[in-house]
A and B are shown apart, each in its own frame.
Chain A
Amino acid sequence: MYLLRSSLSRNLHKFMAVPAFLLFSVFFLYPLLRGIGLSLTDWDGISSANFIGLKNFINFFKDERALNDVKNTVFFALGSAPLLNIVGLVYALMLDGNLKGRGIARAIIYLPAIISPLIMGYIWYFILQPERGYFFHILKNMNLEHLMGNWMAYYKSAMWMLIIVNVWQYAGMTMIVYLAGLQSIPLELYEVGKIDGAGYFSRLYYITLPLLIPSIRINIVTNIIGSLSVFDIIMALTEGGPGYSTESLSIYIMRMCYGSKTGYSTAVALVLFFIILIPVVLSLRIMNSREVERI
């Protein structure tokens, strides 16, 4: 009996992932499988679903609006993901270590990410609205209003405004992960570096960055996923407009889902999944080859 019990307790560690997996299966995997089934049908959300094979996917590649959305989404991600990482890292480096009031500073920088996107939408638009926003009025008081045109009127300016707002709002999250990573690097390593005569940037490049790879990996993956599935920021600022010019794929999926093309929307969601999968797998491969294990 003792042997059985001790054998169980000795092997318990192998089962530690089971509870998590169980929960996940019921509330995610099972609905997911049913959802994937939907992508092969022409379900409109109300009447019965008819099997139509891969027709949804074929239609997707013929759909001009959908392909345009892919372009928008990729543009957004290419601008957003790298910026989020760089800015977040810079913030974390600045706020790491001993500095009075760093807690408050971290809180302030993180604040925009805390406020729900719903409310932020109102606020951002209120601040940035062309010709009527808070920012415009401040410029006007300084007689600089011509600096700000109607950014919504042009594709490039609208997209960049969205990217900037996204970085502004979420750099705090990236920063948090980097802080967690930074603070687990032992101080002694820096001491050794200093004794050897390494300057700040050398220490950064040779000591910090390699040991920060877990955090970099996490941030790159999350930022890629987050940027490619962007919904709230765009919805809040432009609603995908004017027209559909800044619509992201996630917004398109939602609109199709409730616009009686539910089966089709599920298929597009799967396409989005593949669009996300590729860069994520690539970055993970690159990261894993550079990983350093440490004490």
Chain B
Amino acid sequence: MKRLIAFVSGILLVALFLSACGAQTEKNTTSQNSESDSIKQTGETSKRTVHVSFFTGKSETVDVINDIINKFNEQNPGIVVSQEFQKDASNVIKVKFASGDVPDIVTTYEQEFVDQGKYLDISDMDEWWSRTIPSMKENCTDIKTGKQFRICTNMTMAGIFYNKEIFQQLGLKEAKTWDEFVNNLKVIKEKMPEVTPWFIPGKEAWSLGHLIEFLPHGYIKQKYGAVEAKKAFLSNDQTKLDFGKVGGSVETFARNLLQLKEEGLINSDVISATYDNHVQAFANGDAAIISQGMWVVSSLLEANQDIAEKIGFSPYPSYMNDMQPVVLSAEDSGYSISAESENKEEAIKFLNFLFQPDNQKTYSETVQSPCAFTDVDADWGVLKDEVTSALERGYNIGFTNEKPAGFSGDDAGRMVQELLAGKYNSEEFAKAYKEAWDAGME
């Protein structure tokens, strides 16, 4: 009997101990549900605290957004905005949606969510659209419905980063065509054997996926224009896309890449080189060219402050006969409101606050990319001039959001890894790419 009491009290003690630990956190969770509680408690019309959840996957903006959130919360008693950051945001959001735990504002945007009606239609938010650059509304338009479900506050660019000092020393000029590009690489390799001509971080599937975005897809987007290209991607219109065709954009891309590898014009350890490696290499002058976007600039500067004046930025050279050089100029920092949110008004209120010019100025300067609102003048980065001129010299393309649900950018990147590891020749690659795209469409 004594033992029974002891056993049961042991369990109870454990339970008590655990609940003592949990008590603090219980308070937090119960305050979350206090909406209905506080209405019941005070009989008269009382202010209920509205909780707005802000879900993001961008680690570099966590702090600046938190500052803005704190200011907003202070100025708006009765509304409490809180930010949740998740590293694997696009995975976590799926679980959240699946279990009914819907954040009010999200930064993740995917075609399949649009199709499922997960986002609020914000096409009529004229107070926002009237302030953005004209192309923004078009960029944010969902091709299938013609409506807008997200708004982006910034633009980001991607292209060829090159070391101006090395180019000057060797008398090289920006390449407009692929042949010129290869030639530059050859000169660098010959005259400066210690320097890697083009450093590709092949271990990062997403980075290789970007190459596919900018080169083969870039060709398509440029040939047919943004809207037609998007339609072609969505409907898998192979007459336009021509993925499997020998001599088409995909096969030529693969052929060129293999040629570079054979001639030693890219780093020999491409399949095991990391993002970090290539940042270090470029920053220290051990690599002459990398393909990246503006997001890499802060890492480069951290690795080596002096590289700032040496960074040159140019569009990607054209590699098909009927192609112009392209440069990525895509919308970035997008916000959507969940269609199932119960706090839409408050969410909009917060976004209004976030979009105010002074807040946007701070944000843009933190993320080092230009703001899409016309009334914001931010000094957003060291490459401001380089980039602005590159945008004029190349055809501007955006990201391909209209990818098949089952074939992501990472998957495309992994195929490129296989290519570099010698699994395919260029024709087989083109065929496999087409098959994977088709399969992903189901």
Which A residues contact B (CB, under 8 angstroms)? Answer: 5-6, 8-9, 12, 19, 44-47, 125, 129-132, 150, 152-153, 239-245, 258-261
Contact = CB atoms under 8 A, between A and B. Distances in A.
B1 A9 contact: yes
Contact of B417 (A12, A129, A241): A241
A131 B273 CA distance: 9
Interface in B264-279: 268-269, 271-274, 277
A152 B271 contact: yes
Given A132-B277, A258-B91, A242 B421 contact: yes
A216 to B, nearest CB: 33
A267 to B, nearest CB: 15
B269 A131 contact: yes
Interface stretch (B25-33, B110-118, B142-150): B110-118
23 contacts: A9-B3, A9-B4, A45-B94, A45-B97, A45-B98, A46-B94, A46-B97, A46-B112, A46-B113, A47-B116, A125-B274, A130-B272, A131-B272, A132-B272, A150-B271, A153-B271, A239-B205, A241-B271, A243-B417, A243-B423, A258-B91, A260-B112, A261-B406
B232 interface: no
Interface string B259-296: 00000000011011110010000000000000000000
Contacts of A44: 112, 405
Nearest to B436: A65
Contact of B98 (A46, A241, A259): A46
Among all A-B residue pairs, the 9 with the closest Cβ atoms? A243-B418, A242-B421, A260-B405, A242-B417, A131-B269, A258-B91, A243-B417, A242-B271, A152-B272
Contacts of A12: 4, 7
Contacts of B20: none
B19 interface: no
A241 B414 contact: yes
A225 to B, nearest CB: 24
Interface string B386-421: 000000000000000000011010010011011011
A196 to B, nearest CB: 44
Contacts of B406: 259-261
Contacts of A260: 112, 405-406
A153 B421 contact: yes
Interface of B: 1, 3-4, 7, 11, 90-91, 94, 97-98, 112-113, 116, 118, 202-203, 205, 268-269, 271-274, 277, 405-406, 408, 411, 414-415, 417-418, 420-421, 423
A91 to B, nearest CB: 31
A243 B421 contact: yes
A44 B98 CA distance: 10
Secondary structure at the B interface, as helix, strand, loop or mixed, is: helix
Given A45-B94, A242-B420, A19 B11 contact: yes
Contacts of A6: 1
B413 to A, nearest CB: 9
A241 B415 CA distance: 10
A44 B112 CA distance: 10
A284 to B, nearest CB: 31
A241 B203 contact: yes
B93 to A, nearest CB: 10
Given A153-B271, A259-B405, 8 more contacts: A9-B4, A46-B112, A129-B274, A131-B268, A241-B417, A243-B414, A244-B418, A258-B94
A236 to B, nearest CB: 12
A245 B421 contact: yes
A131 to B, nearest CB: 4
Contacts of A152: 271-272
A46 B415 contact: no
Max chain A Cβ within 10 angstroms of own Cβ: one of B113, B203, B411: B203
B269 A132 contact: yes
A140 to B, nearest CB: 14
